Chains A and B, each alone.
Chain A
Amino acid sequence: MTTRRPSPLAIVLASILVLTIVLVAIFIPTVFTSQNLGNLALSSSIVMIAAAGQTLVLMSRNLDLSQGAMVMLVALSTGLVHSATGAPIAFLVPFAIILGAVLGATNGLIVAYLAVPSIIATLGMAGVYRGVGFFVADGSQVSRNDLPSELIDFAKAQTLSVPLPFVLAVVTAILFSFLSKRTVPGRVLVAVGFNESAARLRGIETKPVVIATFVLSGVLCGVAALLFAGIFGNVNPSDANGLELQTIAAAIIGGTSIAGGRGNFLGTALGALLLALILNVLRVSDIDPLWQLAIQGLVILFAATVALRSTSDANNTEQRKVTA
């Protein structure tokens, strides 16, 4: 199995992004006010961080449909714990990350040891997490006063006029890109995603690898949840619904293959940025916001098709061989 480096895709994606930015700059210059760019960076950071987790899970040839529910449940629980006990931020950050890890580990154990297909397992657990969220919220919601002020401040903080959450998201993407390419666990993950039984024959324990990807997805959702709470300032049990669809879209646009084995973390980050940019353009321009969802759908379809065309998909060439 020879795999080309995903560089052609990166070029295509980067040029689409640059082209979009240039066109936007010419036709809708209001997008490039510093305040709006800040909003754009903030709104993309939540998706970017969760999408890094989704990319990991996709690489192991699985899918995490519970991300939205996990972000909501962690953000909600963090707010509830803070308002009930007044726990300091030094406790809340590890709490959120550990809670995310526990939720992710639950998903991973069900997928790896009960052999439930991940799409089913995470779909079911999304319902469970959301139900628990409604249950613990008990009809109320977490509002700004319930949240630690440090979270709100962090969401507003900037370095060199770049929002800190965005910096965190970019660092996360670069970190995972490095880990997946240059470290042994990263290469093991690629091997397992490409061909699970072959990896097992080589003596790789595949189950811990699968569980690890889900745990990391949960952890990253925990981080995203802290940003979510800080940026929006309130949390409802129905929040972050459909976030998983955005993270999958970002990953696919970025050239991560749903067939496993190929993940591109920088591409995922660019994909999340592209989605956020398009939504932002719609918000700033005169287009009725009601059409946002439809245009988002068109973008997903278009971008996924372009991404598939510009990566030489092994399965795809194989299909052509059959029909020829």
Chain B
Amino acid sequence: MNILKSIAARPEFGALVLLPFAFVVASLLSPFFLVGENIANGFVQYTELGLLAIGLTFVIVSGHIDLSVASILALSGVALGRALQADWPVEVAVLVSIIVGTACGMLNGILVVRTKLPSLIVTLGTFALFGGIAQGLIGYASIGNLPEAFVGVDRILFVGVPVPILVLFACAIGAALILHGTVAGRKIVLTGMNPKAARYAEINTARVEYSVFVFSGLMAGIAATLLVSRSGVVVYNLASGYELTAITIVVVGGASIYGGKGTVLGTMSALILVATLQRGMSLAGIAAPLQLVVVGILLVGSIAVQTMVTLTTVRIKSVAPSEGKKSDE
């Protein structure tokens, strides 16, 4: 019984339980869902979202939030497009994209640590700043005609799997090892759980906070490379609105928005869950607006269930129910 209970208490439990249902529903909605080609083609579109969600998992587990991820992706993509337009070698251009993403993350980290403003406010500002710079750099025009050598990474197969999916899984495994298997990962979790206690335990929480934002920026930079290569075009509002879906995925994956809890496995399960639902609905011809409603309800519903479960267990353990409010913001 105890083993069952501890499994049910795992953050990724909810998403993993819902996943088979989503698969069944999706294949009932459309007979085409389970066609192998559809699965591969469909899921390639979610790799960038997955990378953003992995970066966000670190940020959210550390007790912060990053609203600027999609703007970082857009700015990195614009830098990449400009570099390719200037006939820079593909390798250098990709490096530019990743460096721009990381630099944006560094700026977020510095601002959060130095100004002591809530990360919600800081990344709200940089959301506008980075997105605005991307807009200012290329305007309403789009950059097309990218070099052949760069475009179409999703059509390259390695052992039968599109390269972006491999990149996503490599990043996920790397991130999981860091978050769940290293001292650095424990420091992130502890900082998110209780920053004051973490500081008393000689953890340099400022450095931890700075690092998670840099990591989130790096993931956005990699995502930008994949997205531009896949779509073959750069526009200023590349990936706009991705930050909300990415946050949804991380939270549905069991991470606590108050920090201190969350796993990469949970995020990946939730990514597949959301992708399955959206693909199933698209194939069944359900209009995008209704999908928006379904994802919204999924977000609120899954958290409501999670919080209910936690609150009941807490109530059983102690008389006074504690509501997970963060006092150190």
Are A and B genuine complex partners?
yes
The answer to whether B135 and A300 touch across the interface, beta carbons within 8 angstroms, is no
Stretch of B92-100, B157-165, B175-183, B297-305 lying at the A interface: B297-305
Closest to B65 in A: A119
What residues of chain B lie closer than 8 Å to A61, measured between beta carbons?
A: 325
Interface residues in B277-329 by Cβ distance below 8 A to A read 287-293, 295-300, 303-304, 307-308, 311, 323-325, 327-329
The answer to whether B299 and A290 touch across the interface, beta carbons within 8 angstroms, is no
- Name, among A119, A128, A301, the residue most crowded by chain B CB atoms within 10 Å (CB to CB): A301
Stretch of B3-11, B17-25, B125-133 lying at the A interface: B125-133
What residues of chain A lie closer than 8 Å to B324, measured between beta carbons?
A: 117
Shortest B109–chain A CB gap in Å is 14
Shortest B285–chain A CB gap in Å is 15
What residues of chain B lie closer than 8 Å to A197, measured between beta carbons?
A: 323
Shortest B188–chain A CB gap in Å is 19
The answer to whether A120 and B257 touch across the interface, beta carbons within 8 angstroms, is yes
The answer to whether A305 and B117 touch across the interface, beta carbons within 8 angstroms, is yes
Shortest A100–chain B CB gap in Å is 18
The answer to whether A292 and B126 touch across the interface, beta carbons within 8 angstroms, is no
Contact of B299 among A120, A288, A291, A308 (CB under 8 A): A120
Interface residues in A4-63 by Cβ distance below 8 A to B read 61, 63
Shortest A224–chain B CB gap in Å is 20
Q: Is the interface of A mostly helix, strand, loop or mixed?
A: helix
In the complex where A245-B128, A249-B124, A293-B135 touch, is A115 in contact with B300 (Cβ < 8 A)?
A: no
CA distance A300 to B57 in the complex (A): 25
- Name, among B121, B244, B300, the residue most crowded by chain A CB atoms within 10 Å (CB to CB): B300
The answer to whether B125 and A300 touch across the interface, beta carbons within 8 angstroms, is yes
In the complex where A117-B258, A252-B121 touch, is A110 in contact with B290 (Cβ < 8 A)?
A: no
Contact of B296 among A114, A127, A259 (CB under 8 A): A127
Contact of A259 among B257, B287, B308, B329 (CB under 8 A): B329
Shortest A17–chain B CB gap in Å is 19
**Residue-by-residue, is A295-313 near B (CB-CB < 8 Å gives 1, otherwise 0)?**
1111011001100100000
Interface residues in A266-306 by Cβ distance below 8 A to B read 288, 290-298, 300-301, 304-305
In the complex where A125-B296, A130-B292 touch, is A114 in contact with B304 (Cβ < 8 A)?
A: yes
Stretch of A131-139, A144-152, A154-162, A163-171 lying at the B interface: A131-139
Total number of A residues with any Cβ neighbor in B under 8 Å: 51
Total number of B residues with any Cβ neighbor in A under 8 Å: 56
Shortest B87–chain A CB gap in Å is 25
What residues of chain A lie closer than 8 Å to B257, measured between beta carbons?
A: 117, 119-120
CA distance A295 to B132 in the complex (A): 7
In the complex where A134-B289, A290-B139 touch, is A304 in contact with B117 (Cβ < 8 A)?
A: yes
The answer to whether A124 and B117 touch across the interface, beta carbons within 8 angstroms, is no
The answer to whether A308 and B130 touch across the interface, beta carbons within 8 angstroms, is no
What residues of chain A lie closer than 8 Å to B129, measured between beta carbons?
A: 294, 297-298, 301
Q: Is A174 an interface residue when CB atoms closer than 8 A count as contact?
A: no
Q: Is B118 an interface residue when CB atoms closer than 8 A count as contact?
A: yes
- Name, among B128, B131, B248, the residue most crowded by chain A CB atoms within 10 Å (CB to CB): B128
The answer to whether A296 and B128 touch across the interface, beta carbons within 8 angstroms, is yes
Shortest A180–chain B CB gap in Å is 21
Q: Is B199 an interface residue when CB atoms closer than 8 A count as contact?
A: yes
Interface residues in B177-200 by Cβ distance below 8 A to A read 196, 199-200
Shortest B227–chain A CB gap in Å is 20
Q: Is A126 an interface residue when CB atoms closer than 8 A count as contact?
A: yes
CA distance A61 to B125 in the complex (A): 20
The answer to whether A126 and B296 touch across the interface, beta carbons within 8 angstroms, is yes
In the complex where A245-B128, A293-B128, A294-B132 touch, is A132 in contact with B115 (Cβ < 8 A)?
A: no
Shortest A39–chain B CB gap in Å is 22
In the complex where A115-B308, A128-B296 touch, is A258 in contact with B323 (Cβ < 8 A)?
A: no
Stretch of A77-85, A214-222, A226-234, A315-323 lying at the B interface: A315-323
Contact of B293 among A116, A128, A294, A297 (CB under 8 A): A128
Which 8 A/B pairs are nearest by Cβ-Cβ distance? A294-B132, A297-B129, A297-B128, A293-B132, A134-B289, A127-B296, A131-B292, A131-B293
Can you list 17 contacts pairing A with B, beta carbon distance less than 8 Å?
Answer: A114-B308, A115-B311, A120-B303, A123-B299, A127-B292, A130-B289, A130-B292, A134-B289, A252-B121, A288-B136, A294-B133, A294-B135, A298-B125, A300-B128, A301-B125, A304-B121, A322-B200
